[in-house]
């Protein structure tokens, strides 16, 4: 085994490697993670990404043609076989491999000779096996270096969820200030809040049964407005308009991460997808429906049911069966109708309670830094 040092500097440096696999999920999580380390902790952070053109959507000032650049207190490096070996230099104190993206061979070779920690930040899962494998260093066969799998999660014995230190305070201030919410809405061409309306944000994969949702919208006994985010299937507006023509639809252009948070904070019900928007919907403290990323052999459905088991144990919801049914229908398909209006009414206080319970477990960055310091 390669000998590794264990001391961590007061201000450790971080390298975060990320590959843009699909959509914006992986880079969305990696960028939030990098921002929290840099802005809240004051750590020097390099974010090494294979698609800087995608990162530019989050960081408009970024120039994808540059191999190395500093934007918003983060150093961005282009992860290419030609450019990275000349721009990378020395590994940071902590090297983070996000979602098993596999580090470049030359980086692993450099890590053998320096005081560094190797962390594999994994995908979020509520499955029962996660705590058993969380934060346990083990030798990586190719190099002999210790690599630690670090799992986000929903229980105290996992890594927790990404959450900025002041996020819930910002949320509370925004949700209590009707003027602030309406100013934000006006800036994004959305209608003002109306007490009798249920406002629904929609962000989903092409696999989601849009027609089923449209039928449920049409059956609701309260007026509903739908806010379509960029990234929903192109036929979504047409299907909803055909089945529920009385439901107003508002289309949004791509939102920055802070603006996406505020969209979730100001809506009555949020349909979200993947990992990043799912976690942000939880912190919004509003009812949400999760469209989980489809995986082979229906692995995603096992993850969905594992989350539902934790959610059910964490809240006292008389209408939990309806929520569970809708989540399963939204991810597996079906024909049964769900009363969305009743769901929003029943779930609203419990969604806030669930967010507060998870916040008490600590956030991912704080738990990771604490683990690295005591290891």
Per-residue confidence (pLDDT) for residue 177, from 0 to 100: 98
74 by DSSP, 3-state: which?
Answer: strand
Question: Which domains are assigned to the chain?
Answer: 14-151 (3.40.50), 167-359 (3.40.50.2000)
CA-to-CA distance for 355 and 168, rounded, in angstroms?
Answer: 9
Q: Which of 15, 26, 120, 276 is catalytic?
A: 26
Catalytic status, residue 275: yes
Strand order in the sheet with 45-49: 68-71, 74-78, 45-49, 14-18, 94-98, 117-121, 146-150, 136-139
pLDDT tens-place values along the chain, 375 residues long: 444 445 788 899 999 999 998 767 789 999 999 999 999 999 999 999 999 999 999 999 999 999 999 999 999 999 998 999 999 999 999 999 999 999 999 999 999 988 899 999 999 999 999 999 999 999 988 888 999 999 999 999 999 999 999 999 999 999 999 999 999 999 999 999 998 999 999 999 998 999 989 999 999 889 999 999 998 999 999 999 999 999 999 999 999 999 999 999 999 999 999 999 999 999 999 999 999 888 777 788 889 999 999 988 877 666 677 788 888 889 987 767 677 887 888 788 888 989 999 999 999 999 999 999 886
- Interstrand relation of 136-139 and 94-98 (parallel, antiparallel or unpaired): unpaired
CA-to-CA distance for 342 and 146, rounded, in angstroms?
Answer: 51
Phi and psi (nearest 5°) for 316? -110, 85
Mark residue 189 as left, alpha or beta (left: phi above 0; alpha: psi -120 to 50; beta: remaining): left
H-helix or E-strand spanning residue 54: helix 52-58
Model's pTM, two decimal places? Answer: 0.94
Cα distances from 58 to residues 28, 54, 185, 371, in angstroms, run 8, 8, 20, 29
277: closest CA among 260, 258, 256, 253? 260
Per-residue confidence (pLDDT) for residue 145, from 0 to 100: 93
Q: How deeply is 71 buried, as exposed, middle or buried, from its count of CB atoms within 10 A (0-12, 13-18, 19+)?
A: middle
DSSP state of 157: T
Q: Which of 120, 261, 275, 363 is catalytic?
A: 275
CA-to-CA distance for 273 and 224, rounded, in angstroms?
Answer: 21
* Strand-pair partners of 161: 363
Q: Are 162 and 364 in contact (CB under 8 A)?
A: yes
CA-to-CA distance for 182 and 180, rounded, in angstroms?
Answer: 6
Catalytic status, residue 339: no
**Residues belonging to the chain:** 375
Q: Are 197 and 223 in contact (CB under 8 A)?
A: yes
């Amino acid at each position: 085994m390669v000998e590794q040092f264990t001391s961590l500097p007061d201000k450790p440096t971080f390298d975060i490697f990320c590959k843009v696999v699909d959509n914006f999920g992986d880079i969305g999580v990696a960028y939030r993670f990098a921002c929290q380390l840099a802005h809240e902790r004051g750590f020097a952070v390099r974010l090494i990404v294979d698609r800087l053109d995608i990162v530019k959507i989050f960081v408009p000032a970024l120039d994808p043609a540059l191999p190395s650049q500093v934007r918003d207190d983060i150093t961005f490096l282009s992860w290419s076989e030609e450019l990275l070996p000349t721009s990378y230099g020395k590994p940071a104190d902590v090297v983070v491999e996000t979602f098993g993206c596999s580090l470049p061979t030359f980086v692993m070779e450099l890590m053998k000779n320096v005081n560094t920690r190797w962390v594999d930040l994994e995908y979020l899962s509520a499955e029962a096996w996660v705590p058993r494998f969380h934060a346990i260093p083990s030798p990586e066969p190719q190099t002999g270096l210790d690599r630690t799998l670090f799992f986000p999660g929903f229980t105290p014995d996992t890594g927790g969820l990404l959450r900025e230190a002041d996020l819930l305070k910002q949320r509370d201030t925004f949700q209590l200030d009707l003027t602030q919410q309406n100013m934000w809405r006006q800036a994004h061409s959305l209608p003002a809040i109306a007490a009798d309306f249920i406002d629904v944000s929609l962000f989903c994969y092409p696999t989601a049964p849009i027609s089923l949702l449209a039928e449920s919208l049409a059956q609701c006994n309260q007026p509903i407005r739908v806010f379509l985010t960029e990234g929903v299937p192109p036929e979504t507006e047409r299907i909803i308009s055909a089945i529920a023509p009385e439901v107003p639809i508002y289309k949004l252009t791509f939102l920055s991460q802070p603006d996406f948070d505020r969209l979730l904070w100001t809506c009555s019900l949020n349909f979200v997808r993947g990992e990043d928007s799912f976690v942000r919907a939880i912190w919004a403290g509003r009812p949400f429906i999760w469209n989980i990323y489809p995986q082979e052999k229906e692995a995603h459905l096992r993850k969905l049911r594992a989350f539902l088991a934790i959610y059910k144990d964490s809240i006292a919801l008389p209408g939990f069966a309806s929520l569970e049914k809708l989540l399963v229908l939204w991810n597996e398909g079906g024909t049964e109708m769900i009363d969305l209006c009743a769901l929003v009414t029943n779930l609203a206080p419990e969604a806030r309670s669930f967010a507060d319970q998870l916040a008490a477990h600590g956030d991912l960055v704080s738990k990771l830094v604490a683990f690295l310091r005591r290891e």
